[in-house]
Amino acid sequence: MEIWKRYSEKEVSHSMAHYLQTVAQLKAEKGHARVGDIAEYLGVSKSGVTSMLRSLEKRGLVRHERYGCVELTDEGSGFASRTESSRRVLSMFLTEILGVAEDVATEDACMIEHLVSPEVSIELLRLTTFIRSKHPAAALFRDAYRTSPRSCKEHEPGACDLCGATCLRESLITPIGRAPVRI
Amino acid sequence: MEIWKRYSEKEVSHSMAHYLQTVAQLKAEKGHARVGDIAEYLGVSKSGVTSMLRSLEKRGLVRHERYGCVELTDEGSGFASRTESSRRVLSMFLTEILGVAEDVATEDACMIEHLVSPEVSIELLRLTTFIRSKHPAAALFRDAYRTSPRSCKEHEPGACDLCGATCLRESLITPIGRAPVRI
DNA sequence: CTCATATGTTAAGCTACCTCAACAGTCTTG
DNA sequence: CAAGACTGTTGAGGTAGCTTAACATATGAG
């Protein structure tokens, strides 16, 4: 199977991940999660919630009886907390290490939280923790990195072997539909 | 609008991004992209390609006449190269900095390439380039990082402020549906 | 030039996830 | 304990992306 097709075969979809997180959140906040709460929290219609709950129940991720409260199964709660942790790690990395603006970081983390492998999240946590640590090499690194070059032109010769023929950075900052911006 | 809902409002979907990249790839490889080539490359049916091309044409990303070859518009080609660059940056970061296995890195990069903001890709490129550079602080960092703790238990006290009440790492490695593994 | 083969399109149908409108069950309150 | 107000479900309908099967166009070999 082509890799890109596995997208639709992920254990949980983007929507599902957010439903599960919402149930966990509501449960923690108010002790129970009801259809109306979920609908309001996510900004979808109650009927949308009802039908999503049917899918989640079929997959064994929640329990839900007609007109009753929603409960996460162990598996559902595992997904919820894994995605939640993944989001927190991503957010932290994006804002504190990469220095990306908070709103961008929040949005990106929300988009990809359910797609990154546990291995990647774990290593990202390790990297983030280490860079922020009091280890002398980390402190030195933070100082040096703060002033490291932002454009390819400033790279030391050879550093840009990442880029190959065309500068990656240029193609990344190219506004869609226009010629690459020279920097 | 709730952030999570912007998922379906991304300029290009996962599928679209891959169609655009495929057209660019085929064009570069054999000089032209035809429906059959695209179908074979992506492992989908030709009718699927025809209908996706209709969507892409409606969005102004490709040009396609009945029974003819497919061409990218400037906008389409911008998306193709931006996603491609994003993927390369992600792959590099995941394998060379995080040290994640190649197949995991490839799959993850493929899943999220179209979802990460340009800002994030650019900063990720900068970080990757710097860590790999000959800068003394980078060399020192690489050495120190190689032996940095892999589990929360080994963190220096206070380093785990990332985690809050529960260790993020533990919830990330928890096999779905079971109790957290103690490490 | 014609016909078989290769290539491409159409049509109908499926799943996922959403909407709105109508209906049904539950709860509160007089 | 019944009326009305909430809350939840059903049903029909929409978009995106796929599938298969049937049909249409194009091409090149004799």
Tokens 């529960």, located at residue: B166
B129 CB contact with strand C at below 7 Å? no
Residue spans in chain A of domains classed CATH 1.10.10.10: 9-78
The answer to whether B34 and B69 are in contact (CB under 8 A) is yes
Neighbouring CB atoms inside 10 A of B39's CB total: 18
Q: Give tens-digit pLDDT for A17-46.
A: 999 999 999 999 999 999 999 999 999 999
| Confidence bin at A157 (pLDDT 50/70/90) | low
Q: Which nucleotide is nearest to A65 (CA to C1')?
A: D8
**Candidates A82, A120, A174; nearest CB to B108:** A120
Q: How far apart are CA A131 and CA A150, in angstroms?
A: 19
| pTM summary value | 0.89
Name the fold adopted by B84-146.
Diphtheria Toxin Repressor; domain 2 (1.10.60)
The kind and range of the H/E element at B30 are helix B14-30
Question: Across the 183 residues of chain B, what is the mean pLDDT of every consecutive 10-residue run?
Answer: 91 97 96 97 98 97 96 96 94 96 97 96 93 94 90 57 65 56 33
Residue spans in chain B of domains classed CATH 1.10.60: 84-146
- B3-78 — its CATH code? 1.10.10.10
Calculate ∠ Cα A127-A129-A132, nearest 5°: 105
Residue spans in chain B of domains classed CATH 1.10.10.10: 3-78
- A9-78 — its CATH code? 1.10.10.10
Name the fold adopted by A86-146.
Diphtheria Toxin Repressor; domain 2 (1.10.60)
Residues 7-66 of A with CB under 7 A from strand D: 34-37, 46-47, 49-51, 53, 64, 66
Residue spans in chain A of domains classed CATH 1.10.60: 86-146
